[in-house]
A = this chain, B = another copy of it.
């Protein structure tokens, strides 16, 4: 029997927990606020930002938004970030990616102060993670760890293989799994024999961007399979894993949709709350 991990339910519970903590904060402190910055009119980006803003309001947090025109210069975007960085009512700043092609994302991301970096994508946040220091962690890999925790999967001493070495998921996730005491293998496009490194693993995370890459030939019976991929097809959303073929083989599996996806927004809210607590000195820098 393969158990489907209900990411949608776990994400709802986390969001409800954030809302409760926000409600309790309100009397004695500032309401945490998330500022989203959208540059241009990309339709998908507009939808993502709208979903995030709604989640922020539902959690009782302050929704701050800046919509800049497609032709905004580096200076304009930088000034918007600097203004939000200085605003004590803004706990976290999210610069929606991708930016229009004429803008260089890296230096703009790195303008976000580390204490407001709720996406965990600045060089400073990456350095804190690499050096095992406290800080805000990227939302999707944090969400994967939360899912595994919610399912009671022991990571200390487990073998985990991360397939994909991308900046948003694979790289930070490998660090997070190591922090939890897993023996971690990172595989990628140059891996000669993928099955040889996924089959021994107790936990396999697929974050490759290759639809249906992972199948029964890659998975040890009873292993936990986490699918970070999202691909739009005529039959709906699907992931990097051929989930139907793993039924009866995997011990647990995250579905697409309804697995990792909902966790990303839940962790964005968690990070915004942590950033607010960090700023208020109510709590040490988040671990």
Contacts and interface: CB of A to CB of B under 8 A. Distances in A.
A72 interface: no
A249 B183 CA distance: 25
Interface bracket on A: 35 or more
A190 B186 contact: no
As for how many copies of this chain the complex holds, the number is 2
A127 B123 contact: yes
A130 B185 contact: no
Given A123-B133, A132-B167, A185-B184, A200 B196 contact: yes
Q: At the interface, is chain A mostly helix, strand, loop or mixed? A: mixed
A169 B182 CA distance: 18
29 contacts: A106-B131, A106-B133, A123-B127, A123-B128, A124-B127, A125-B127, A126-B126, A126-B130, A126-B131, A127-B128, A129-B130, A130-B171, A131-B167, A132-B167, A157-B190, A157-B192, A159-B192, A159-B197, A165-B178, A174-B186, A178-B186, A178-B188, A181-B190, A182-B190, A183-B187, A183-B188, A183-B190, A183-B191, A184-B186
Given A127-B127, A174-B186, A185-B185, 8 more contacts: A123-B124, A123-B133, A126-B130, A130-B175, A131-B167, A132-B167, A156-B190, A184-B185
Interface of A: 106, 122-133, 156-157, 159, 165, 167, 171-172, 174-175, 178, 181-188, 190-192, 196-197, 200
